[in-house]
Amino acid sequence: MARQNSEMRSEVSVVVPCYNVEPYLQRALDSVYAQTYRDFHIYCVDDGSTNGTLQVLKTNARSCTIVCQPHAGPAAARNRAIRLADSAFVAFLDADDEWMPSKLERQIAVLKQDPTLGLVCSLCLVSERGNGRRAVFSADGVPDCGRLFQDLVRNCFVFTPTVAVRRCCLEDVGLFNEALPVSEDFDLWLRIAARWKIALLPETLAITHKRPGSLSASISPEERLRTGIATLEHVQSSCPELSPSERRALRRALAERIYLYGSFLLSTGEKGLSRRKLICALKYQRTHWRAIAKLGLSFLPLCVTEALVQLKSMFWWRPKDSAGFVPRDAAPT
Asked whether residue 331 is assigned to any structural domain, the reply reads: no
Same domain for 210 and 240, yes or no, is no
Same domain for 270 and 168, yes or no, is no
**Which amino acid is it at 132?**
G
Answer whether 192's CB lies under 8 Å from 147's CB. Answer: no
Same domain for 29 and 137, yes or no, is yes
Same domain for 107 and 193, yes or no, is yes
Cross-strand bridge partners of residue 136 = 125
Asked whether residue 76 is assigned to any structural domain, the reply reads: yes
User: Helix H segments across the chain?
Assistant: 22-33, 53-59, 74-84, 103-113, 149-154, 167-173, 184-193, 215-218, 221-238, 244-267, 271-284, 289-297, 302-315
Same domain for 252 and 212, yes or no, is no
Q: Give the Cα-Cα-Cα angle 19, 204, 199 (nearest 5 degrees).
A: 95
- The angle that helices 271-284 and 244-267 make with each other, rounded to 10 degrees, is 170
> What are the pLDDT tens digits along the chain (333 aa)?
333 443 457 999 999 999 999 999 999 999 999 999 999 999 999 999 999 999 999 999 999 999 999 999 999 999 999 999 989 999 999 999 999 999 999 999 999 999 999 999 999 999 877 555 677 776 788 999 999 999 999 989 999 999 999 999 999 999 999 999 899 999 999 999 999 999 999 999 999 998 666 556 667 889 999 999 999 999 999 999 999 999 999 999 999 999 999 999 988 888 999 999 999 999 999 999 999 998 998 887 766 656 666 666 665 544 443 333 334 443 333
Domain assignment of residue 213, given as a range: 8-218
Same domain for 108 and 228, yes or no, is no
Phi, psi of 153 (to 5 degrees): -70, -25
Same domain for 39 and 111, yes or no, is yes
Kindly report the pTM of this predicted structure: 0.86
Asked whether residue 50 is assigned to any structural domain, the reply reads: yes
Q: How far is CA 264 from CA 35, 60, 267, 330, in A?
A: 44, 45, 5, 14
The number of folded domains in the chain is: 2
Same domain for 140 and 244, yes or no, is no
Same domain for 169 and 281, yes or no, is no
Mark which of 179, 196, 218 sits at the end of a domain: 218
Same domain for 14 and 126, yes or no, is yes
Answer whether 139's CB lies under 8 Å from 132's CB. Answer: no
Same domain for 167 and 77, yes or no, is yes
Asked whether residue 332 is assigned to any structural domain, the reply reads: no
Same domain for 279 and 135, yes or no, is no
